[in-house]
Structure 1
């Protein structure tokens, strides 16, 4: 059997450090991540601001890259790809903040965990992270990456970004694995990305505008991850409504709950629901929905119910997707739950002890 083809490596540090005349080639490799995709055409809009356009069967759209200074880069993308792609991201001692919206979400559809992704990461020296983009995906992204020193020098946010990951700059330097944290997606952040994609400025004004929006994004991330933000007391009425949300999900895990359906049923603004739930309970609505579905699934499996039946009862469309989610959460497949002596796993599930009934 032939050995698998090695993954292309997207080197973010090289992109930050590249001389101006090499930026186009490096940014093209970052965009493509795949040998089969065509090259794009690049236009320098201003010193430190590049626009790259794609118009082919494999990929369409454009991307802007702004480099405020050495070791610091901002990338804004609006691209549609035809083929599925796999590659590996390297970021030698870089902080990386990324926010992505699907094509539906960017045009006003519901923003939730299926249509949005928000992550802040720190890449220790020599680390790599595999990445996959699905077939025929439309995606819109803002990414900010740079060293803590550059973030501090340019925007005064290096220390704050380290603290958002529960670290200091010195302790981050001692990490041997990638440190990652999701952050809550607010209406302000989605509008920020939409505004950037309209990009109605040119020249030095365009560069300043892109940089200002990147700085705003980092402030949103710090606010979303800080202890002060998470512990801000909520009004009593809001806390009671949030408890009703949890009860509604726990009592009806099989229902296709969405932020819109939950907010309508309880008379809460959708954005307020998402932010307040995360503030109150330390996880998103959909993270709780999945964990509750899987907790109840474990109980059903202990009573020797069939996997396909359990999958349907807790809201999964098919047994295969249920099995993948269950194994990712507990470290074993559903079919092993009822087979083990005493119907208990031989090792602790990946996310804590076996679920208990409320």
Structure 2
């Protein structure tokens, strides 16, 4: 018996599987596959060799590699998986090409963070999904590094480039600016854009845009605009979405904030 959650996150396919004694016949994938083992021991057959991957292990498969294996009969197993083309991963990480040098890395902390990002990517909340898409890109940089792939050094970005990114985000607050579009505008890969932006601001582009959206919501509410109109104007999914972020930032709901201003 198994329980599978599955979703597309931008150009990444992600899944989370809880099962008992699941095995896979020998097969291959056209994409790169990154697996994270959380519970149970996986016996892996890969290109005529065998190894075991226990909890905290990250397994990495290049396109076309013949693989198989699974958990012993009756043994519990929980793992998450990410699928992406080699070209897509290389482009997102600022590499000319990508091929994993190692098939198994024991990195418990990185495995937990990667699994948490995949779990977040499976959320029904679009905001949570977008946030975890950005987290995944940064974590994938760590994953390919521990697999033996050398990442290019960060291009010199400078404060002016990050200011330009902020201007672009601010100009489109009513909608989510795709990370690919933002990177193309600045001439940066997703990975280098995210790393430079977080280094400069302490936030991801998505988080920075949300805090600005919430700040502008406060100004509109102060001027008497209704919460529903504010949510629509600033691109919140609905009024409850505005309420959640406004309360998280200011400790008060938009309605309560406006009622206090009338006193």
TM-score (norm 2): 0.51
Matched, 1:50 2:50: no
Give ranges in structure 1 of 5+ residues lacking alignment: 1-30, 33-38, 44-48, 54-63, 67-72, 81-93, 106-110, 119-183, 193-211, 221-231, 344-358
Whether 1:113 and 2:131 are equivalent positions in the alignment is: yes
Cα distance in 2 for residues equivalent to 1:233 and 1:116: 17
In structure 2, distance between residues paired with 1:303 and 1:323: 17
**Are positions 1:185 and 2:138 aligned together?**
yes
Q: Residue 306 of structure 1 aligns with which residue?
A: 226
How many equivalent residue pairs? 166
Q: Return the alpha-carbon distance in structure 2 between the equivalents of residues 267 and 233 of structure 1.
A: 12
- Equivalent of residue 41 in structure 1, options 13, 17, 21: 21
User: Match of 1:74?
Assistant: 56
Checking the alignment, whether the CA contact within 8 Å between 2:155 and 2:192 is kept in structure 1 is: no
The separation in 2 between residues aligned to 1:188 and 1:283, in whole angstroms, is 17
Q: CA deviation at 1:309?
A: 0.9
Question: After superposition, where does 1:104-183 map in structure 2 within 5 Å?
Answer: 113-115=131-133, 117=135
Cα distance in 2 between the residues matched to 1:273 and 1:95: 24
CA RMSD across the alignment:
4.0
Equivalence for 1:332: 252
CA distance in 1 between partners of 2:238 and 2:164 (Å): 28
SS at match of 2:258: coil
Q: SS at the partner of 1:337? A: helix
Which segments of structure 1 move beyond 6 Å, counting only runs of 4 or more?
A: none
Contact 1:112 1:259 in 2 (8 A): no
Aligned equivalents of 1:268, 1:188: Cα separation in 2: 14
Equivalence map 1:202-351=2 (5 Å): 235=156, 238-341=158-261
2: CA distance, partners of 1:249 / 1:95: 32
8 Å Cα contact 2:222/2:261 also seen in 1? no
SS in 2 for 1:115: helix
> 2:250 and 2:208 mapped to 1: Cα distance?
15
* 5+ residue gaps, structure 2: 1-16, 24-39, 45-51, 59-78, 83-107, 122-128
Q: State the partner residue of 1:209.
A: none
Confirm or deny: 8 A CA contact 1:294 1:326 kept in the other structure.
yes
Q: Deviation digits for residues 60-79 of structure 1, max 9, x if unmatched?
A: xxxx752xxxxxx5155236
CA shift, 1:265, in A, is 2.4
TM-aligned CA deviation for residue 259 of structure 1: 1.3
User: Using CA pairs below 8 Å that are at least 6 residues apart, which structure has the higher relative contact order?
Assistant: 2
Residues 116/280 of structure 1: CA separation in 2 closer, same or farther (3 Å cut) = closer
